[in-house]
Amino acid sequence: MFVLIENSQVLRERLVTTPSQTAIIHEHIGMEKRIDVDAKEYHITVGEGISINLRWQKVNLAAENWEDDSENTNPFIVELEGVVQEIPSLQGMGTVEFQSEEAGEFTLRTVVPNVDNTEIKVVVTSA
């Protein structure tokens, strides 16, 4: 079963019984809220633009999974190459537009405190 503890962490709790003792095992699963994306990696060519969709999710303790959180209006905070930007959340979703005039690999990170953040790699190749 999933349990939520004070600092918004989610643990999986299991009861393990042996002939001589019983123990409760806690395994860290993640945070109560997380940011989900459609894909963790994108491939584009120089000058091509893409839209990266971000979604707020919250844990469903009873179902032991995460579900979309359309009521979350907190902005997404993303960082790319040291530049931080807030992306508005509308019904729990936000979009980052990405385009580069240089080839290379870029890592976009969400940096929201106290949630499970994510990284998205964008590989830009020459045309």
Q: What is the pLDDT of residues 38-97, one digit of tens each?
A: 999 999 999 999 999 999 999 988 888 899 999 999 999 999 999 999 999 999 999 999
Specify whether domain 32-125 bears CATH 2.60.40.10. Answer: yes
Average pLDDT, the chain: 92
Q: What is the mean pLDDT of residues 103-109?
A: 97
In the structure encoding, which two tokens stand for residue 127, read together? 């045309």
Judge contact between 36 and 59, C-beta under 8 A.
no
Query: pTM of the entire structure?
Result: 0.83
Which residue reads 């707020």 in tokens? 56
* Percent of the chain residues past pLDDT 90, beyond the cut: 69
**64 is written with which tokens?**
């032991």
What strands lie across the sheet with 9-17, from one edge to the other?
Answer: 2-4, 9-17, 22-31
